[in-house]
Amino acid sequence: MTAILLFTLSLFGFGVSFYIFFKKKRGEKLVCLIGEDCNKVVNSSYNSMFGFPNEILGMGYYALVAFGAMLLQSGVSMIGPFPLRLLSLATSGTAALFSLYLIYIQAFVLKEWCEYCVATALTSCAIFAILALS
């Protein structure tokens, strides 16, 4: 059941991240219901890490979670010398902390909200919570 929930959340997170990527790539504005200007958030100087846009990092992360969920469902417990659970906790914990940092940036630096960004942040935190509690 945990693997199916993780896989579902990863599909959702990937879909939202891809939507942001798609809209930005086409130069289209995001319509945001909870903020005045989602585009201010997704086009800010905080929208990249190590030279990669956050939505691309998000797609990579959620793809990794989906792959890990499939491994978990198939009974794999090790990846090379490392336990899958430890790798999953470390990766999802890092993603959750980064997501909380980006929420802080929206609230206190940009003073602007993007519902898509909030959705992916909550998804990252949910994935970490599920892994930490399972």
pLDDT in tens, 8-18: 999 999 999 99
Query: Which domains does the chain carry?
Result: 2-133 (1.20.1440.130)
How far is 79 from 90, CA to CA, in rounded Å?
14
pLDDT in tens, 93-121: 999 999 999 999 999 999 999 999 999 99
Residue 36 above 80 pLDDT?
Answer: no
Average pLDDT of span 33-37: 77
How many C-beta neighbours within 10 Å does residue 29 have?
Answer: 12
Round the CA-based radius of gyration of the chain to a whole number and report it: 15
How far is 48 from 90, CA to CA, in rounded Å?
21
